[in-house]
Amino acid sequence: MRGVAACSAAALLAALSGPLAAAEGTGRAVEIALPRAPAAGERVWLRLTVGPLGRGAALQVTGVDGTLLGSLAPVGGAVSAQGPPTYVVPLPADAVVGGRIAVRLVVREPGGATRAPTPDEVPGIEALVVPAD
């Protein structure tokens, strides 16, 4: 995408084991710094790399207050021969506080059970500042 600024610290694996992450309640809390403040005409998105989740499971991205921001799953639980694909989740303006994004990642299993994703299930997450209109 043209004109996209991406957070340079992109690996969720590092984030999950670092001071910015905390497993509290259901799912996994992740906090990411924006690469820079969005200007007028720009929006903030998350780009997540999502590994195999299992048939019927979906990765849900919520705000810290539990507001659902997006639900991610390949059609049919397809597995890519080229490695895990990326997904984009648009964020509301109020998701950015003090130049940082705080979200929670939850894997919803078939039948409704929820749990935190493993590093293999979400090997990467980036914050993007995207020109959009």
Partner 1 sequence: MTTLMQALEPSRREFVGGAAAAIGLAAAGGAARAAAAQPKYRRVNVNSDAAKSHLKSYQKAIGKMLALPASDARNWYRNALVHTVDCPHGNWWFLVWHRGYIGWFEQICRELSEDPNFALPYWDWTENVDGSTPFVSSVPDRMYDGVLTPTDPSYIGTYDAFKATVGGVVDHLIWWNRTMVDGNLVPDAPYGQLLARGIRFPDDLWFDIADDPRGLLFFERAHARGLSRQEPQLDPGTTKNVSLPTLLDALSPRDFIGFGSPKTYFHSGLTGFGILEGLPHNSVHNCVGGAYNGNGGFMQANLSPVDPLFFLHHANIDRIWDVWTRKQLARGYPILPDGYPSSPGGAVRPGSDYDRWSRELFLFYADAQGHPVTKVKAGDYASIGDFDYDYEPGSGEEVVPGTQVAAGAAVPPTERYAGSVAAGTISAATTASAAIAVPEALLTRAGPGGATLVAEVTVAFPPLGHGGAIAVLVNAPAGGSPPSADSPHFAGVLSMFGHHTAHGPVTFTVPLTSTLLMLRSATLLSATAPLTVSLAPIQPGGPAAGATGHAHPGAQAELLAVTVTAL
The DSSP code for 105 is: E
- Is 115 exposed, middle or buried, given 0-12, 13-18 or 19+ CB atoms closer than 10 A? middle
- Of the ranges 1-9, 11-19, 21-29, 113-121, which one interacts with partner 1 (CB under 8 A)? 1-9
Shortest distance, CB of residue 87 to partner 1, whole angstroms? 4
Find residue 33's DSSP bridge partners: 100
72-131 positions binding partner 1, by CB under 8 A: 72-82, 85-90, 92, 108, 110-111, 129-131
| Residue with Cβ nearer partner 1 (20 or 69) | 69
The dihedral sign for the CA sequence 61, 121, 76, 46: positive
Task: Compute the distance between CA of residue 36 and CA of residue 128 in angstroms, rounded to an integer.
Answer: 9
Tell me which residues touch partner 1 (CB under 8 A).
1-6, 8, 35-36, 39-43, 45, 55-56, 58, 60, 68-82, 85-90, 92, 108, 110-111, 129-133
